[in-house]
Structure 1
Amino acid sequence: MISSKKSAGRIAAMAAAAAAMFSMVVPTGTSFAIDHIPCRAGENFLKIWSHLDGRDSVDCYANRGRIGFGGWWVDKIETGNNDLIYSDANGDSVRVNRWTIITYPNRPPRVNYIEIL
């Protein structure tokens, strides 16, 4: 009977140690996810004008994270209060700092994904 109590105690101690180790290894910070949001005048969100196959689009994004952009051609970017990286079809990653407006009137980049830092 004494050995079964010791065995149960060891198992409980090992489970507690494993739980403590897991909580130290897994990050517990706040996670962020980029959001596609409605565009509103006067807001400082990331705003991107783009086109593909005869369709035009204006999209706004908020919060840190990364999202696919589907290979759309980007005509204009307003970063608002966001630092941005986009990856184009050539495999280049381009950083655009906050409070920047860029237009691409002649050779727009074809963007695979965008990331708000």
Structure 2
Amino acid sequence: MISKSKRVTRSMAVAFAAAAALTVSMPSGNAFAIDHVQCVGGENFLKIWSHLDGRESVDCYANAGKTGFGGWWIDRISTGNNDLIYYDANGDSVKIERWHDMTFPNHPPRVVAIQIL
């Protein structure tokens, strides 16, 4: 006859083994990190034309994530195959869906961060 303590120990060992097996077999979550990439014609990257203090810049981004944008003024955004949220200096957030090309000729937003969804 098996003692009560051995049954409890065996039950705990089986439960631990089952939990370990589930932990190993379950897929882990995706790691997201937005990347500043070289702009390449024909690619569907997020592309942003901006200016600040007499300087102009054209930047491209890929992969989901969020990054600071330094308070630059946005002149144009081409989202490519990315859904975008930009966070402006006034505290607003604006979502722009993929495949949109927007210009801001008269009132460009001053953006502090961007996020690719």
TM-score interval (norm. to shorter) = 0.7 to 0.9
* Alignment match, 1:82: 82
* Alignment match, 2:28: 28
Aligned residues: 102
- Structure 1 residues 58-108: Cα deviation after superposition (integer angstroms, max 9, x where no partner): 000000000000000000000000000000001000000000000000010
**Same amino acid, percent of matched pairs:** 70
1:52 and 1:83 mapped to 2: Cα distance? 24
- After the TM superposition, list the runs of 4 or more consecutive aligned residues in structure 1 that deviate by more than 4 angstroms: none
Q: Which runs of 5+ in 2 are unaligned?
A: 1-8
Give the alignment's Cα RMSD to 1 decimal: 2.2
1:1-117 alignment, distance < 5 Å? 20=20, 28-117=28-117
Moved more, 49-58 or 27-36: 27-36
TM, length-normalised to structure 2: 0.78
For residue 108 of structure 2, give the secondary structure of its aligned residue in structure 1: coil
Q: Which runs of 5+ in 1 are unaligned?
A: 1-8
